[in-house]
Amino acid sequence: MGGIKSQLEPHEYDTLRGATRTHREELLVRLCGEAGLRAGEIARLRPADLASDERAESSGYFLTVREAAGGTRIGYLPSGVAHRVRQYVRSNSISPEAELIDVTERRIQMIVTDLCERVAEATGRAVFEQVTPSTLRTFFAQQLLVEDGVDARVVAAVGGWAGIDDLLAGLGDPTRAEIAVAFGQLETEDDDGAGRLPLLVDTLETVVQRVTDADSRETLERRACEALTDSYRAAWVLEWGPRRERLAVRAHAGESPDRFDGAGETGIVRRSLQTGQPLVAPDDPGPAASQEGRGLLAAVPLVSGDTQYGALVVRAGSRDAFDDPERSTLSMLGRQLGFAIDAIERKQVLLGGSVLAVTFQYGGQSTLVQFAETLACSLVLEGAVAGDDGVLCFVRAAETAPKPALEAAADCPGIGDSRLIRNTAAGGVLELDIQEGSPLLSLADRGARVSELRVENGQATLTCELPPETSVRALHDDLHEQFPSLELHSKQKREATRGTLDTRGVLDEELTEKQRTVIQAAYHAGYFEWPRESTAEDLADSMDVSPPTLHNHLRSAQQNLLDSVLEH
């Protein structure tokens, strides 16, 4: 083995791996070039051969290799390769005892040869024309022996070479512990280096796959943390407790489950939530902490629009972790998880039979309270539709003439456009585009449904319906920070008030979000009354869309609703 010479240099191997077009192609290259497997051994490989319950002392995994003569040996998969194997198994629904790559040894050789010929043609480098699975195994051995200085006995054992040199005779085969230590040193050195980002991207794909069908926020957060331990030593989802003085752990996987629970965190978690940016810092939980609990922490906020759902924190084991691309990738994951949490909570409000009804009271500088005080009247909200830049509110102003009401709306800082929908003896119904200065905006971001809002004598009473699992204290703290006069008046679990469950199902299953928004706005604006109280052009202006777009959404929504109703 001492005279071994690979035809490939490390950068050429990276070029070859980067040129793969399918998951299977990449897996074949890596099983040969990073695990030292022969083509025939890959053809006999099964998912069950990867030890799922016996992780090595490093971050890699042991492997049972089925040899041609019928025996087995110990193999070793670096964590990145093991992750790709598991991902391939999940993506293709491969059973534990089925062949991982269901092709013959000859076909595996042909796939590698075809890939190498394609790379040779694309790069003009003749070296790739000579590459075979055997060449990749030689590259594997050379990297370990020459570049990394791994014990030759370990290389011979995991690669299945019969012997290396007479000098090694009598030294005996390496133990599993020796193999783990040899590779563990490499994984520790390179754990967060150039190979981390591809592994992280793979992990994020896995996270997204696992949370897409989550039916609750708890399930989503737990699955996300579990998937992230493919790349990190630990992962937590955290949120603030009452008065934002202590953190609470909502979900965890990996080391140190109690690392943040009840902590008065003044470091990266607080600063990340305040700035909305991913932040990195060393982790030293105290003198009593074990070495296992030390490393680097990264915190990213879980956000959807202007709403924060806490923070995701991960711990890496290397000082080289969390460069700019990795932080950007984690930040993207925080937004994806925030969107997913938001979607789950909205769905629970819209479809769930049981909701949490919460009533707040406030006055002060809120937009609708100021508007009512200017007119010296009471207001009742008849409907609200969340838009991209605000909330379109339909309010009844008691015993108020249209002209002064519209003039007051034009002068009110938090109101954009306004118009009169209808005028009755009891007062006019106005359409107000609320753009700032109202709890309605924050509640809309959280997917809450406002079931009642009244403003009388300078005091607003607002009742909204939220998912049953909502942290009312955290919501109150968020709103109180924006509106100091706001106080929690009551909360109770009850059945949703919005029509029958069947009707809600039709609205949410048959209509897109845009169709639902448009048809609700049209209903509240009197578009379906006769004579019409709003034209399509009025609606289009209010919702900041073109008339053709609005007509298209309206027609599609009406068609879908009629189809659903008439079919039953």
Residue 73, number of CB atoms within 10 A of its CB: 15
Averaged pLDDT in 10-residue chunks for the chain of 568 residues: 58 82 87 92 92 52 88 86 82 84 90 88 84 90 81 84 52 68 60 55 68 76 85 85 72 83 69 76 56 69 78 81 79 83 69 76 89 91 81 88 89 89 79 91 82 91 84 84 90 64 50 79 81 82 81 81 68
Q: Please give the pLDDT value at position 261.
A: 72
Q: Please give the pLDDT value at position 502.
A: 39
Structure letter (DSSP) for residue 143: I
Q: pTM of the prediction?
A: 0.44
Alpha helices in 412-496 (DSSP H): 439-445, 472-482
Q: Please give the pLDDT value at position 4.
A: 44
The closest of 357, 358, 359, 379 to 368, measured between CA atoms, is: 379
Strands (E), 363-519: 379-386, 391-398, 415-424, 427-434, 449-456, 459-466, 487-495
The closest of 324, 317, 268 to 295, measured between CA atoms, is: 317
Cα–Cα dist 325/67, whole Å: 41
Q: Please give the pLDDT value at position 367.
A: 92
DSSP lists the bridge partners of residue 488 as: 360
Structure letter (DSSP) for residue 249: E
Cα–Cα dist 123/169, whole Å: 43
The closest of 234, 230, 196 to 325, measured between CA atoms, is: 196
In angstroms, the Cα distances linking 314 to 267, 300, 322 are: 14, 9, 10
Element (H, E) at 247: strand 247-254
Here the tokens at position 146 are 């020459």
Residue 73's SS3 state is strand
DSSP lists the bridge partners of residue 238 as: 249, 311
Which backbone phi and psi does 508 adopt, to 5 degrees? -90, -25
Residue 427's SS3 state is strand
Q: Please give the pLDDT value at position 87.
A: 76
Counting DSSP H helices and E strands in the chain, the numbers are 20, 16
List the end-to-end C-alpha distance of the chain, in Å, as a whole number. Answer: 76
Q: Please give the domain boundaries of the chain with CATH numbers for all domains.
A: 10-190 (1.10.443.10), 208-344 (3.30.450.40), 352-498 (no CATH), 499-568 (1.10.10.10)
The closest of 210, 48, 36, 231 to 138, measured between CA atoms, is: 36
Residues composing the chain: 568
Q: Please give the pLDDT value at position 167.
A: 37
Cis peptide before 531 (omega within 30 of 0): yes
List Cβ neighbours of 501 (8 Å cut-off, separation of 6 or more). Answer: 351, 353
Here the tokens at position 395 are 């309010």
Q: Please give the pLDDT value at position 330.
A: 84
List Cβ neighbours of 158 (8 Å cut-off, separation of 6 or more). Answer: 35, 36, 73, 74, 75, 76, 179
Cβ burial of 155 (10 Å; 0-12, 13-18, 19+) is buried
Cα–Cα dist 236/259, whole Å: 9
For the residues of 503-527, what is the DSSP string, one character each? HHHHHHHHS-HHHHHHHHHHHHTTT
Q: What angle separates helix 10-18 from helix 23-33, to the nearest 10 degrees?
A: 160
Residue 463's SS3 state is strand
Long-range contacts (CB closer than 8 Å, 24 or more residues apart) made by 451-457:
451/357, 451/497, 451/498, 452/381, 453/368, 453/379, 453/380, 453/381, 453/384, 454/378, 454/379, 454/380, 454/381, 455/368, 455/369, 455/372, 455/378, 455/379, 455/380, 456/372, 456/378, 457/378
In the sheet with 307-316, reading across from the earlier edge strand, the strands are 247-254, 234-240, 307-316, 295-304, 279-283
Structure letter (DSSP) for residue 173: P
Cβ burial of 320 (10 Å; 0-12, 13-18, 19+) is middle
The closest of 498, 514, 513 to 550, measured between CA atoms, is: 514
Residue 523 identity = Y
Is there a contact between 247 and 319 (Cβ–Cβ < 8 Å)? no
Strands (E), 25-78: 50-55, 61-66, 72-77
